[in-house]
């Protein structure tokens, strides 16, 4: 009920007056005179008051004992205690149990009105938070990882198990677009930390200095431009989860500081001296082979082993194409709702082209393609002409052979006169030159990511 109040008061004159007063002011008010009646209303009749005005000492017990018994079993309510002779210990216990306020009788009505208004605002806000948490828990259950293949079933099973484990750190691996961000949300919202924040950052999107400030925060004056104190993402994630996407791109020096923060559960802001303690779980994700990066000296082995307490690998879509039958209708339904469309029929031609495609961009690529097709649809039919999937694998191989014939190959000596790193540098430099130093075009030509090309440019001083 939107404005329900429960008054628990054994003095008939005060109880009836409070009931009449708050009813006149828009509250649906119920008044009982003992703990047994209140407990029946709250637990058996499922009454959900926003505010409870409760006398401390009642004929059949103490109001604080009642709050302690029912607080975890009912919808969020704010309790205001009234007492004629309360001590410091009672007020301390009331606040420890989560009471909103503790007032001494006789209490001025205007003061009580202010307290009740604040209690109602607080209860509404906390109920909105509870509703949001419940909605996220439903939206991001393990069933959100869609697919009937054995690979998808195994992932769901692992997600369900991991959500019930109070892990300190976890590493999600898989190609770009396989759903690492979705898996992180499932793990957070399915865990006991679901009422805490989920804070996300892409480690490849920020330069080293800015990433350090984002993670750890800074004090005012810590560096040029730091005009005010900034709380870092580690602080913001306190009580919840921190999702480090593309963790393989993080600078090695910053990795050491992150490892210390994970191990010690404390850190200092940039320019600060005070240690800040945090309670967080770390969910990291990468599309790279971190063990190979360790061998190359680009990732710390100790951080890898600390993050990989649990490791979850997500399968590529090309290895579970049978899941297209589940994913495509789901995405069509989603974009029908968003765009006000009514697509319902997918032709056999469209299915055949979807099944033949190798899906280098995985589920993200599929989602984008379905969105385009739904947006450009004119009726119930899924428009296959808007799939634009590009050549098949056989056609791509033929195009590659043709490109070699057209002089697009790079020649490298295999007689030991050129080291592997030199070959790598030469390939990157040549590809950059042929693509007029366009990083995106170079990455596409070499079949890798822009972040990888940027890293090689920095590594080789190109």
Supply the pLDDT for residue 54. 92
What are phi and psi for residue 266, nearest 5 degrees?
A: -155, 160
Q: Which domains does the chain have, with CATH numbers?
A: 4-136 (3.40.50.2300), 164-313 (3.40.50.300), 318-386 (1.10.8.60), 410-460 (1.10.10)
Q: Where are the alpha helices (DSSP H) in 141-202?
A: 150-163, 180-189
Q: Which two tokens stand for residue 20?
A: 């009449």
Number of H helices, E strands in the chain: 19, 16
CB atoms within 10 A of CB 425: 17
pLDDT at 409 over 80: no
Q: Give, to the nearest 10 degrees, the angle between helix 63-70 and helix 88-96.
A: 10
First to last CA, the chain: 66
- Tell me how far apart the alpha carbons of residues 423 and 416 are, in angstroms, rounded to a whole number: 11
284: helix, strand or coil: strand
- Tell me how far apart the alpha carbons of residues 7 and 23 are, in angstroms, rounded to a whole number: 12
pLDDT at 152 over 50: yes
pLDDT tens string 305-355 = 999 989 999 999 999 999 999 999 999 999 999 999 999 999 999 999 999
- Tell me how far apart the alpha carbons of residues 441 and 395 are, in angstroms, rounded to a whole number: 21
Q: Give the residue-averaged pLDDT of 146-165.
A: 92
Q: What's the pTM? A: 0.64
Which residues are within 8 A (CB) of 340 and not within 5 positions of it... i.e. 6 or more apart? none
pLDDT at 417 over 70: no
118: helix, strand or coil: helix
Q: Which two tokens stand for residue 87?
A: 């001590």
- Tell me how far apart the alpha carbons of residues 163 and 177 are, in angstroms, rounded to a whole number: 22
pLDDT top residue among 149 and 405:
149
pLDDT top residue among 197 and 412:
197
Q: Which two tokens stand for residue 345?
A: 């029929």
Element (H, E) at 46: none
The answer to which of 126-135, 335-344, 401-410 has the lowest mean pLDDT is 401-410
Among candidate residues 119, 148, 251, 134, the one with its CA nearest the CA of residue 194: 134
- Tell me how far apart the alpha carbons of residues 151 and 362 are, in angstroms, rounded to a whole number: 14
Query: Using CA of residue 33, residue 38, residue 39, residue 40, what is the dihedral sign?
Result: positive
Cβ density class 67-89: b for 16+ within 10 Å, e for less: beebeeeeebbbbbbbbeebeee
DSSP string, 313-356: EPPPGGG-GGGHHHHHHHHHHHHHHHHT----B--HHHHHHHHH
pLDDT top residue among 6 and 448:
6
Mean per-residue pLDDT over the chain, rounded: 87
- Tell me how far apart the alpha carbons of residues 124 and 303 are, in angstroms, rounded to a whole number: 42
- Tell me how far apart the alpha carbons of residues 457 and 329 are, in angstroms, rounded to a whole number: 42
Q: Give the residue-averaged pLDDT of 261-275.
A: 91
Element (H, E) at 68: helix 63-70
Q: Where are the alpha helices (DSSP H) in 84-173?
A: 88-96, 109-139, 150-163
pLDDT at 90 over 80: no
Which residues, listed in sequence order, are joined to residue 244 by a DSSP beta bridge?
A: 201, 284
Of the pLDDT bands very low, low, confident and very high (cuts 50, 70, 90), residue 451 is confident
Supply the pLDDT for residue 220. 86
Q: Is the peptide bond before 106 cis (omega within 30 degrees of 0)?
A: yes
Q: Which two tokens stand for residue 339?
A: 């765009």
Measured in whole angstroms, how far is the alpha carbon of residue 197 from the centre of its chain? 8
The answer to which of 140-149, 280-289, 363-372 has the lowest mean pLDDT is 140-149
Element (H, E) at 52: strand 51-55
pLDDT top residue among 433 and 202:
202
Query: For residue 423, what are the CA distances in angstroms to 105, 164, 293?
Result: 84, 47, 18
Element (H, E) at 245: strand 241-245
Supply the pLDDT for residue 38. 92
Write the DSSP symbol of residue 383. Answer: -
Cβ density class 30-64: b for 16+ within 10 Å, e for less: bbbbbbeebbebbeeeebbbbbbbbbbebeeebbb
CA atoms within a 13 Å half-sphere pointing along the CA-CB vector of 276:
23
Query: Using CA of residue 34, residue 36, residue 39, residue 40, what is the dihedral sign?
Result: negative
Measured in whole angstroms, how far is the alpha carbon of residue 454 from the centre of its chain? 27
Among candidate residues 62, 73, 71, the one with its CA nearest the CA of residue 100: 71
Asked if 312 and 171 touch (Cβ cutoff 8 Å), the reply is: yes
- Tell me how far apart the alpha carbons of residues 325 and 286 are, in angstroms, rounded to a whole number: 27
């Amino acid at each position: 009920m939107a404005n329900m109040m429960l008054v628990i008061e054994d003095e008939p004159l005060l109880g009836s007056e409070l009931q009449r007063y708050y009813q006149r002011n828009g509250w649906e008010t119920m008044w009982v005179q003992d703990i047994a009646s209140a407990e029946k209303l709250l637990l058996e009749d499922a009454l959900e008051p926003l505010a409870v005005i409760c006398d401390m000492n009642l004929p059949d017990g103490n109001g604080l004992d009642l709050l302690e018994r029912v607080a975890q079993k009912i919808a969020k309510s704010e309790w205001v205690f009234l007492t004629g002779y309360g001590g410091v210990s009672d007020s301390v216990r009331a606040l420890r149990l989560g009471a909103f306020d503790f007032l001494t009788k006789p209490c001025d009505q205007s003061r009580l009105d202010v307290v009740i208004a604040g209690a109602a605002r607080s209860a509404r806000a906390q109920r909105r938070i509870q509703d949001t948490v419940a909605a996220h828990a439903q939206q991001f259950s393990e069933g959100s990882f869609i697919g009937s293949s054995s690979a998808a079933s195994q992932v769901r099973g692992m997600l369900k198990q991991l959500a019930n484990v109070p892990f300190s750190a976890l590493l999600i691996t898989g190609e770009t677009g396989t759903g690492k961000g979705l898996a992180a949300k499932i793990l957070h919202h399915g865990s006991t930390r679901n009422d805490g924040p989920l804070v996300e950052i892409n480690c490849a999107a920020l330069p080293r200095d800015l990433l350090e400030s984002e993670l750890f925060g800074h004090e005012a004056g810590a560096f040029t431009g730091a005009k005010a104190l900034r709380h870092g993402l580690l602080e913001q994630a306190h009580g919840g989860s921190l999702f480090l996407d593309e963790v393989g791109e993080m600078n090695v020096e910053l990795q050491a500081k992150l490892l210390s923060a994970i191990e010690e559960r404390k850190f200092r802001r940039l320019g600060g001296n005070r240690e800040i303690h945090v309670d967080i779980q770390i969910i990291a994700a990468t599309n790279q082979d971190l063990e190979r990066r360790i061998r190359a000296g680009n990732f710390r082995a100790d951080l890898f082993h600390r993050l990989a307490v649990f490791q979850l690998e997500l399968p590529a879509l090309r290895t579970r194409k049978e899941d297209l039958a589940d994913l495509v209708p789901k995405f069509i339904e989603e974009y029908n709702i968003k765009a006000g469309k009514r697509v319902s029929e997918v032709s056999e031609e469209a299915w055949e082209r979807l099944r033949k495609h190798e899906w280098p961009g995985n589920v993200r690529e599929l989602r984008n393609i379905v969105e385009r097709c739904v947006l450009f649809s004119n009726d119930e039919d899924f428009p296959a002409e808007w799939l634009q999937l590009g050549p098949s694998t056989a056609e791509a191989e033929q195009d590659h052979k043709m490109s070699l014939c057209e002089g697009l190959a790079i020649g490298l000596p295999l007689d030991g006169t050129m080291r592997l790193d030199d070959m790598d540098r030469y390939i990157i430099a040549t590809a950059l030159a042929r693509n007029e130093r366009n990083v995106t075009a170079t990455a596409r030509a070499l079949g890798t990511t822009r972040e990888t090309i940027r890293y090689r440019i920095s590594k080789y001083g190109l």
